Structure 1
Amino acid sequence: MKNHMLNAPKQPLITDALFAEMVLDKAVLAFRTEQLWKEIDQSLDVGNKERFFELTTELQALEALR
């Protein structure tokens, strides 16, 4: 029986640390995305075209990570 278990296909294990890192990365990404949207709205309110383009470029880069 032990021999049978040795031949079983090995599946990758997600460790607690890796899982925690993934959750944290997702939370940081969501927070920054929300923050960017607020800053984009502010740049539109004050008519800061240059800042608007900087922020939307960063937002597009973040969206590509999803």
Structure 2
Amino acid sequence: MDNMKVAYETMLGLAAEMVLDEALRNYRTEKIYDAIDDALAQGDVESFRRLTDELKTIQS
């Protein structure tokens, strides 16, 4: 029975980590989209390219 408890706790830990990773990825993606909008509004080509590259990396 202890093996079942350890396995269950491990699964819960992994699930929690997956939820946290997804939340952080979504937060960062939203911030990058905001920064891309700002770069476009300011005509900052270098920042736009850097941010879109970062966005591509996150989404892959």
Per the alignment, residue 47 of structure 2 pairs with 51
Aligned-residue RMSD, C-alpha: 1.5
Per the alignment, residue 24 of structure 2 pairs with 28
Aligned equivalents of 2:39, 2:59: Cα separation in 1: 19
TM-score (norm 2): 0.82
Give the letter for the 1:20 counterpart. Answer: A
Per the alignment, residue 13 of structure 2 pairs with 17
Alpha-carbon shift at residue 27 of structure 1 (Å): 0.3
Paired residues in the alignment total 53
TM-score (norm 1): 0.75
* Identical-residue share of aligned pairs (%): 40
- Give 4+ residue runs of structure 1 displaced > 3 Å after superposition: none
Tell me which protein shows more helix as a share of its residues.
Answer: 2
Alpha-carbon shift at residue 15 of structure 1 (Å): 1.2
- Higher CA-based Rg: 1
